[in-house]
Structure 1
């Protein structure tokens, strides 16, 4: 059947955000002032005001500050309670001196009821927020509600299946996107995703997205239709919605811009694969090496996600890619252009091109040498210039703020979403933002690295920031000896946080050129490997240590132990061996000191021969492990193991416990 276009499609000229003032009947100038319409929320307009738990206009902070009650409350000592007689006297609500306490407290009844009402309203808002996260269940009505929630038009009609059965066809239409969903008794059978105004190349690039959305709606084997939710489908529909709303057809198609990035990144990936093969890397391992050590691997519509991603790290990077391997990637999409920090130098808008790289990928500078040393031949495609709207042509000056009287670039930018979010020190986070020129969050978050990676559990006492934090975890480790026999051992891993370094968790960032993504990959891999090392050694696969504090074992405080590790004081025996002596169920205790500035460092101590092992290593860019100091090689007769080999083994094992066991079995 024919694919319907969006209502009123093509009746109005292109504008900066897909609709001109004439396309919004009844719109006021204030509503048209912004270049990007505000996101609709249940309480964002007067039509929904009746559903707001607050039920009316909220008092502004300025009005609250001017309240006489606040001025009186500001004079109260912090330890006074509202229900105490002293508080009533301080507020002057007690009346004459001979007034009873009961009468004095009557003035607080209204204040306490307001407080209780606010608590109830806050709880109600929290409940509504939780309910708003639910996307509903797969059905015709559920799909219609979800599509309308994202601003699509919906049309339902009867249709006939190839076998002659009567089915329902639900058509979800945007400005340049159409989704046809065939259902029989609210059970989805097919999904047809089309882009009527896009080029053939864009249609072919986006075609697999329809298969992913169909899988989001199909029932699993033996699954009841009553339990099939729209959660996965909603995530992919939201991604399509973003590209649909920001596209200004036919002048600027966000999907074409994404497809162009994919074409250039794919050409770079193919070139990397060829170079890896020439260097002797096998065909099954080469993709992993390109992901972890070169320019990453672009994937389109993979891992049940609609859209483009650039993979830059994976666990077990020395092994072929497997489905169960965790990957780190940059999800690439579009977003409204951010406001410029400097009006004279606005952030560059998105461009549509598949020629971001030259035909030969690298640029020969005439100096000779290996192709790996040549710089990439990045290009600068031309910016898109939108046609002026009819209103702009008839006016020499803009009618409203945001209107452009002549052709101009689209108010759209490229956006990367870090999956998973990357945690790194504040100086390196600032460096990450310099690659793209994106503005830093303001004000910068005041959170330490350890609190982001290992947040304090809810209800637990917060750690004193003036003290060195200690995290103890217990885990079971499968160990293979020299005869390739496996055994299970219990480790007690203790992590000492040396200095609290302010850090950031970066989730998304705008960019304007793919070379900016390639430039940041070595830094991202450095912190991705650091987070993976901490997760494998102290994360979810471990459990809370059941042993008492180490101070009970050797009589030293944790601060004394940390000082001993750093060489500031002398210790008669290591805390690791002392901890193991507390509970015979622990086969080995490992003490690790971490500091993350200027780069991530680890100092690892564990029982080894007579002197014990003391190894210091640092994580370099691209996730390379550099062993800077150790005392174990001198205690052995094995001259084949070097510091470089120790670093390579940890890069492959990605786990401090397994690495320590390898050292003890090979060198102990």
Structure 2
């Protein structure tokens, strides 16, 4: 057995711990910088234009680093030696340390009048470009990733039972460790262990290990030359971030998230028990009740699921009214059907007023709801809807240290040092696009204000206006221009499978046109901080409203559709099907006839959208010799309400025995989740 070769560890980002006393000057001088992250090493952070951006607390300063940290910026360094100045001149480096990076990554030349903000933005873009690629799965690639994440790494070679020599890479933090077994740079096994005292965290380590193994293991017929570290870096980076933010003993971020999971799981089980008591859901399967709780109650918390490591609260799902009937369909649904989630994590506190993390399994009481309501609570709840019994856990007090004190502010620094400089964060997966008024309402749930989507670094110029809802949802193609104040039209083609009254199937081509007459300024929300899981629960009705709207728009105008030829040129460019069909097209049409398929006539569907003050859609399509015109709005929770329609009028005019009402039309759209299929369903009831 070879001697283990330790890799150097970056200093703790959270502060001093018993197991780590901070770097010495000699250690800093001998540290090997990560290849693709110039400022990820804390010692090198002295040269960073932004300092230690990711550190929630200060790293202990040695005499070597304190001198470097006193420099205001790279441009302030002076070189008095004539030989040094001559060498810098030969390399094209000026006195302001200009390295000639103006054109890196297609960045514009800033010129001599560039501000400090412009230079910092340029350097941020360079770092972003360098960090985009994580490398390939190999021993060297994993070692570089461990260095980049600031974790210790030990490499050990051993002989397996079959005589083959294998290597085990042990990547360790303060509370977690992962062992990766490689055979000739091919990963064989991954084992994630937790060294803390929280049993609720250890219970989820096996599922996290399986996800990390899937990220590193070769797939069927996959070459080692194409297996990248991107997925593993994302998942393991989540774990490493929690480890760096933890202060052992005192704050365990893994335990803090596990406590939120325990409380949300308690609420989810209460939802299921309540649904089983409702008469209208009697006889429904457990899977149907589960989807109902996920999409209409308080969501479904999961830990390490759907190929993502970490805590997530699922709140919406495609085909929520169609539960899988067997294990095969359940496996397909788990892998293929889209789910909307809130990914919960931790991050350094970056601004004043943010509440620090708290560790508790009792964010909500054991009874979940309040048992004995006071008179004031009864007055606010005339419908007798159960009131959730949320709790307020105590704050965490961390041990203070000498390095956190300042001679002029001992009392204030001593108080602040006892609170962890870490906050809970929620990442929206996928990001949610909201009009400005609803975006402000979403941020109000966490007692915050939305950031400026287009800040201007030049105070002499007015900030750019925010993007519009349609521009965020359907970005304008490169090279095209769209005036935000002008109406916009999005046209797409889609083939829809249709069943006639005899049960025969055929495809019909839909020519879908989306009209945006009134652009609404909007924002795309990806992440924010929060202090209590109650705030996430309060968001769910609003998030479901726009999740359902995005589903309708994606199905009719999204990536699954095709680019449409404008109606004005369609007839001139394609005078007749016979002149444009090839032999291959004729053979395909003949095979469709043999299989019993037939092609219906094209149908035009026009949709007008406006999203203020609520999401509204006006859907117009032809039926026989008339036109159907329906206006609907999407309420909180993804509920469809029909505002105006002429379907009932057409049914009465054609003498239909069973007349559909507006509630029927709304419920059908909620189940179909598709405007095209909904229009075809209505046509079959009127023809």
Same fold (TM over 0.5): yes
Matched residue, 1:238: 237
Deviation string, structure 1 residues 114-136 (Cα, Å, up to 9, x no partner): 99xxxxxx999989855542211
Work out which of the residue numbers 610, 614, 628 in structure 2 matches 1:599.
614
Deviation string, structure 1 residues 41-100 (Cα, Å, up to 9, x no partner): xxx997xx99xx99567699xxxxxxxxxxxxxxxxxxxxxxxxxxxxxxxxxxxxxxxx
| 1:667 to partner: Cα distance | 2.3
Q: 1:314 to 1:591 in 2, by over 3 A?
A: same
Equivalent residues in 2 for 1:20-59, closer than 5 Å: 23-26=22-25, 35-36=56-57
| 1:526 to partner: Cα distance | 0.3
| 1:182 to partner: Cα distance | 1.3
Matched residue, 2:680: 661
Contact 1:474–1:545, Cα closer than 8 Å, also in 2: yes
Q: Distance in 2 between matches of 1:286 and 1:221?
A: 36
Matched residue, 1:356: 363
Q: 1:114 to 1:404 in 2, by over 3 A?
A: closer
Matched residue, 1:144: 143
Q: Distance in 2 between matches of 1:338 and 1:625?
A: 40
Q: Distance in 2 between matches of 1:534 and 1:312?
A: 19
Q: 1:526 to 1:138 in 2, by over 3 A?
A: same
| 1:658 to partner: Cα distance | 0.7
Matched residue, 1:380: 392
Matched residue, 2:577: none
Work out which of the residue numbers 530, 541, 552 in structure 1 matches 2:560.
541
| 1:229 to partner: Cα distance | 1.4
Q: Which moved more, 1:614-623 or 1:145-154?
A: 145-154
Q: 1:20 to 1:552 in 2, by over 3 A?
A: farther
Q: Distance in 2 between matches of 1:605 and 1:17?
A: 66
Deviation string, structure 1 residues 572-622 (Cα, Å, up to 9, x no partner): xxxxxxxxxxxx996210111100000100111111354411110000000
Q: Distance in 1 between matches of 2:253 and 2:552?
A: 38
Q: 1:212 to 1:130 in 2, by over 3 A?
A: same
Deviation string, structure 1 residues 364-408 (Cα, Å, up to 9, x no partner): 354699998111111111111111125558x77557x99536752
Q: 1:372 to 1:162 in 2, by over 3 A?
A: farther
| 1:232 to partner: Cα distance | 1.1
Matched residue, 1:448: 468
Q: 1:311 to 1:35 in 2, by over 3 A?
A: closer
Q: Distance in 1 between matches of 2:366 and 2:533?
A: 16
Equivalent residues in 2 for 1:148-159, closer than 5 Å: 148-159=147-158
Matched residue, 1:434: 444
Q: Distance in 1 between matches of 2:44 and 2:556?
A: 58
| 1:646 to partner: Cα distance | 0.2
Contact 1:365–1:374, Cα closer than 8 Å, also in 2: no
Say whether 1:298 aligns with 2:308. no
Q: Which moved more, 1:622-631 or 1:127-136?
A: 127-136
Work out which of the residue numbers 308, 311, 320 in structure 2 matches 1:308.
311
Deviation string, structure 1 residues 515-541 (Cα, Å, up to 9, x no partner): 000000000000011111000011111
Equivalent residues in 2 for 1:164-243, closer than 5 Å: 165-243=164-242
Q: Distance in 1 between matches of 2:185 and 2:412?
A: 44
Q: 1:55 to 1:506 in 2, by over 3 A?
A: farther
Work out which of the residue numbers 275, 289, 293 in structure 1 matches 2:292.
289
Equivalent residues in 2 for 1:255-654, closer than 5 Å: 255-279=254-278, 280=282, 281-320=284-323, 322-323=333-334, 324-340=336-352, 346-366=353-373, 373-391=385-403, 404=414, 408-442=418-452, 446-459=466-479, 461-549=480-568, 587-637=602-652, 638=656, 639-654=658-673
Q: 1:165 to 1:478 in 2, by over 3 A?
A: same
Q: Which moved more, 1:363-372 or 1:448-457?
A: 363-372
Q: 1:588 to 1:23 in 2, by over 3 A?
A: same
Contact 1:20–1:389, Cα closer than 8 Å, also in 2: no
**TM-score, scaled relative to structure 2:** 0.74
Q: 1:663 to 1:437 in 2, by over 3 A?
A: same
Q: Distance in 2 between matches of 1:667 and 1:403?
A: 74
**TM-score, scaled relative to structure 1:** 0.76
Contact 2:606–2:620, Cα closer than 8 Å, also in 1: yes
Q: Distance in 1 between matches of 2:492 and 2:227?
A: 38
Contact 2:17–2:247, Cα closer than 8 Å, also in 1: yes
Q: Distance in 1 between matches of 2:123 and 2:52?
A: 33
1:447 is paired with a residue of what secondary structure? coil
1:334 is paired with a residue of what secondary structure? strand
Q: 1:15 to 1:614 in 2, by over 3 A?
A: closer
| 1:470 to partner: Cα distance | 1.0
Q: 1:450 to 1:259 in 2, by over 3 A?
A: same
| 1:632 to partner: Cα distance | 1.6
Matched residue, 2:583: none
Contact 1:426–1:502, Cα closer than 8 Å, also in 2: yes
Contact 1:362–1:371, Cα closer than 8 Å, also in 2: no
Q: Distance in 2 between matches of 1:614 and 1:217?
A: 53
Q: Distance in 1 between matches of 2:143 and 2:661?
A: 64
2:337 is paired with a residue of what secondary structure? coil
For structure 1, which runs of at least 5 residues remain unmatched after alignment?
39-43, 61-110, 116-121, 341-345, 554-583
Q: Distance in 2 between matches of 1:149 and 1:625?
A: 48
| 1:145 to partner: Cα distance | 0.9
Aligned length in residues: 562
For structure 2, which runs of at least 5 residues remain unmatched after alignment?
26-42, 60-71, 78-87, 99-109, 115-120, 325-332, 455-464, 573-598
Q: Which moved more, 1:519-528 or 1:267-276?
A: 267-276
| 1:210 to partner: Cα distance | 1.4
| 1:238 to partner: Cα distance | 1.0
Q: 1:370 to 1:256 in 2, by over 3 A?
A: farther
Q: 1:257 to 1:124 in 2, by over 3 A?
A: closer
Q: Distance in 2 between matches of 1:123 and 1:352?
A: 39
| 1:172 to partner: Cα distance | 1.1
